[in-house]
Structure 1
Amino acid sequence: MAKTPAVIKNISELRRRFYKSVKHKESLLALIAEAEVAEQVYNSNAIENSTLTFEETDKILLEVDPGRYISIQEHFEAVNLAEVIRYINENAKKEELTPEIILKLHEMLLSDIRDNIKGRFRKTGEWVRVGGHIGLDPDQIMAAIEEMFAHYYATSEENIIRRIAKLHLTFEYIHPFIDGNGRIGRVIINYLLIREGYVPITITFTDRSLYYDAFEEFESSGKTSLMEAIIGKALTNSYHKRLAYLEGMEIVNLREYSRRFNISHSNLINKAHRQTIPAFLEKGKWKIGIPAEKQK
C-alpha cells in the first residue's frame, strides 16, 4: 500500500476539531465559503492560462468595473465558474455525483462561451490533446467514466484523499470534454469532499507546476502520490482557515506572527507551504490563527 503523506495524517484530528467547533456557526461557514469563491475561480482559471488577476476576478464577481478591458470569454469564464462553485456548495450533499451531474456542471461552465459543446462529452471523431497526452478515444469515454465511478464507490474503505486523487487523475486522463476538463475536474474534487463530509479546497496557481507533475507521474507509473500530497495540503490549509475563525483566534499575517514570537519569517513561510504549522492562504496571503492562550 502506498505510504500516506505525513500532512494527511493530521486531517482526522483537524476534522474532529472542525465538527466540535461548527455547532451554531453555520452562517459563519457560509460567509467563508462565499468569500472563497473568487479565490477558487481565480486559481482554477489561472491554471488554464486566464490573464485575470485575483483582484480583477473579485471585481467581476462583485459586478464592479475591473479597471481594464476584459474579453467576453474571460468574463464568462469567471462568472460561470463561480456559478458552478456555488451550485456545488449548495447541492453536493443532496445529490450523488454521477455522469449526469458532471454534464450539468459542464453546461453551466461553458454557457455563453461554447454553446455548441457545452453539457456533452466528446463525440466520435472529436480528439483532444493536452501537452503530449491525447485524450481517450471518444467512443470509449462513457465506459471509462462509469468505470471511474465504479472504482471510486467500491473503495469506500480506503483513504478519502487517495480515492479522490485517483478519480481526479483518471478523469483528466480520459479528458472527456473538448474544453473545460481541468476546471470541471477540480470542482469535482470539491463536490466529492463536501459530499463525504469534508471541507472544500483550492488548488492554487502557485502549485501548477507540481500539479502537472502529478499527471505525468500518473500517466507514466499509475501512482497518485503527488496528487495526494497536493490535495492533502490544500485540505489541511482549508481546515486551518476555518478553525482559526470557528475557534475565535486572533488572525494575523505571518510577518506579524514572526515579529511577535521572534521566529524567522522565511522559516514560517517554508513551514506554511509544507503545512507543518496551522497557517492558511487567504486572498493569496499567508495568515495564521493565534489561540487565546498564546496571544500577547
Structure 2
Amino acid sequence: MFETPARIEPCFFQDTIPAVLADLTVELQREADNLGRGLHPESAAELADLVRMMNCYYSNLIEGHNTRPKDIEKALAGAEVEPERRALALEAKAHVIVQRKIDEMYSKGDLLSPTSVEFIAWVHRMFYHEMPEEFRFMERPDGSKVEIVPGEFRKTASDDVVVGRHQPPSSDRVEAFMAHFSMRFRVTEKWASTRIIAIASAHHRFNYIHPFPDGNGRVSRLMSHAMALKAGIGGHGLWSISRGLARGLKDRGEYKRMMDYADSPRRGDLDGRGNLSEAALKDFCGWFLTVALDQIRFSTALFDLERLEDRYRLLVKDISEDKRAPDLLAAVLKHGSLERGDVHLVLKTSERTARNTMSAMVRQGFLKSETPKAPVRIAFPLDYRERLFPNLFTDAELTMPDPRPLSFR
C-alpha cells in the first residue's frame, strides 16, 4: 500500500487552539521570562553549561544509559575516564557538544528552523560524528550489525523498524514524510503561541516518523530544545526538557505511555479530520507543555538566584581561609567577568595580594578563564554543586510555589 505523508495528520490544530493549550503558552512565557532575571548574562552562560550536562544526563537516562555527572565532566575536559564507563561518558559529551553549538547559533542569530530537514539532519550528523565507535552500530533482528551513517535517513527495506506497538513509515517513504513534516511545522513559526504548542506536537510527529535508524529520541529532544529557544521560552538555557520527560509528572513511565497514546488513530467524525486522533494530540501537547512548565519552575526554585550569592559566599568561606575570597566571587558573579588588573580595585588591596586570592580561586575551580591573561569568570565546580544547587542530579523534590491550576484533560 502506498503510504502518504498525510498519515501524520493532524500535525496541529486546524480551526482553533484549545483553550487549555493557549493558557499554558501564557504561563510558559511568563515563567521563562522570570527564569534567570537579575543574573548577568555571562554568569547565566556558565549556569547554562551546567544545565546542558543535566539535560544530557537525563536524555541518556531515557535511553537506559546511566552516566555519572563526574564522568561527563571528565569527558568534556578531555580527561581519562575508566574503561567501563568511557563509552557512556563520550556519548554524553556528544550530546553536550551539539546542544552547546545549538545555543551558540541561537545567540548569534544563525539557528535554522528546528523542524527543517536541514537542521534535523545536521543534529544527527554532528551527534554521531562525536559518538564513540561502540554506539555507531546497531543490531538488526537477524543478528547482523550495520553502521549508522551520521545524518542519513532510513532508505531501504532493511532499515524498516518497529518501535513497541508502532510501525513507523516504510524507509523508502521517510524523505517524503520529513518534507511534509518540515512544511507543516514551518507554518507554526508565524505566531508566538503556535511556536510554543508546536514544540510538543512536532516532538511526537517526528518520533512517529522515526526517520533515522537510531538516535531519534535524542535528536527529537535536541530539536525540542532548539524550538524552545526559537519560541522565546529558553529561559537563558537554564531549564531542561529531558529531565521532565525522564521523570514525568507522576512517574517515569509517563513519557512512553503518552507517546504511545498520541499514536492513537482518529476516533470518528468528532475527532478532527486527520488520520490520527486530534483529541489524543491535544492531551499529549497538554501533558508535554505542563512538563515544560514544571521544569522551568523547578529550575527557578533550584537555582534560587536571589540567594545564589549568599550560598556562594558561605561555601567559599568554608573552603578558603582567605577572607577576601567571598568578595571576589560575589563581584565576578555580579559582573559576569572581571579583568585581572581590576581585581585589586574590587578587593581594595595590593595587586600582589589580589593576584594571590584570584589564583587560589582559579586553582580551586571557583573561577575560570580562557587564557592565563584573560578576564576571570564564575565557575561551578562539580564537587560543590550539590552545596550550591541541591538535587541537581537527583529525584528529590523541591518546594515550589503553587501554580495556577491547569488541566490538560
Which consecutive unaligned segments of at least 5 residues does structure 1 have?
254-278, 291-296
The CA distance in 1 between the partners of 2:72 and 2:149, in whole Å, is: 25
CA contact (8 A) 2:161 2:167 kept: yes
1:105-158 deviation per Cα after TM superposition (whole angstroms, max 9, x unaligned): 111211243264211111122112221222211222122222222222223444
- Please tell me whether residue 90 in structure 1 is matched to residue 131 in structure 2: no
Following TM superposition, by how much is the alpha carbon of 1:168 offset from its aligned partner in structure 2, in angstroms? 0.7
Return the match for 2:170 from 125, 137, 142: 137
- The aligned counterpart of 1:174 is 209
Alignment of structure 1 residues 1-296 onto 2, 5 Å: 1-4=17-20, 9-18=26-35, 21=37, 25-64=40-79, 69-72=84-87, 74-92=88-106, 93-97=109-113, 98-111=116-129, 112-113=132-133, 114=136, 116-125=148-157, 126-155=159-188, 156-157=190-191, 158-199=193-234, 200=237, 201-204=240-243, 205-207=246-248, 208-220=252-264, 221-222=277-278, 223-224=280-281, 225-238=283-296, 241-242=299-300, 248-249=306-307, 282-284=392-394, 285-287=396-398
Change (3 A) 1:171 1:48: same
The CA distance in 1 between the partners of 2:90 and 2:81, in whole Å, is: 14
1:252-276 deviation per Cα after TM superposition (whole angstroms, max 9, x unaligned): 99xxxxxxxxxxxxxxxxxxxxxxx
The CA distance in 1 between the partners of 2:399 and 2:288, in whole Å, is: 20
Q: TM-score, normalised by structure 1?
A: 0.75
Change (3 A) 1:8 1:66: farther
CA contact (8 A) 1:123 1:138 kept: yes
The CA distance in 2 between the partners of 1:251 and 1:212, in whole Å, is: 39
CA contact (8 A) 2:27 2:293 kept: no
The CA distance in 2 between the partners of 1:49 and 1:65, in whole Å, is: 23
The CA distance in 1 between the partners of 2:195 and 2:173, in whole Å, is: 27
Change (3 A) 1:288 1:31: farther
Q: TM-score, normalised by structure 2?
A: 0.56
| C-alpha RMSD over aligned residues | 3.3
1:178-218 deviation per Cα after TM superposition (whole angstroms, max 9, x unaligned): 01000000000011111222215332222341111121121
Report the AA paired with residue 101 of structure 1. Answer: F
1:35-55 deviation per Cα after TM superposition (whole angstroms, max 9, x unaligned): 111111111111111132444
CA contact (8 A) 1:41 1:57 kept: no
The CA distance in 2 between the partners of 1:82 and 1:240, in whole Å, is: 21
Aligned residues with identical type, % of pairs: 21
- The aligned counterpart of 1:269 is none
Following TM superposition, by how much is the alpha carbon of 1:62 offset from its aligned partner in structure 2, in angstroms? 4.1
The CA distance in 1 between the partners of 2:44 and 2:254, in whole Å, is: 29
CA contact (8 A) 2:195 2:227 kept: no
* Secondary structure, aligned partner of 2:20: coil
Following TM superposition, by how much is the alpha carbon of 1:229 offset from its aligned partner in structure 2, in angstroms? 2.3
The CA distance in 2 between the partners of 1:228 and 1:154, in whole Å, is: 20
The CA distance in 2 between the partners of 1:232 and 1:252, in whole Å, is: 31
The CA distance in 2 between the partners of 1:75 and 1:281, in whole Å, is: 21
Which consecutive unaligned segments of at least 5 residues does structure 2 have?
1-16, 137-146, 265-276, 312-388, 402-409
CA contact (8 A) 2:203 2:221 kept: yes
The CA distance in 2 between the partners of 1:37 and 1:124, in whole Å, is: 35
The CA distance in 1 between the partners of 2:100 and 2:32, in whole Å, is: 22
Q: How many residues align?
A: 262
Report the AA paired with residue 89 of structure 1. Answer: D
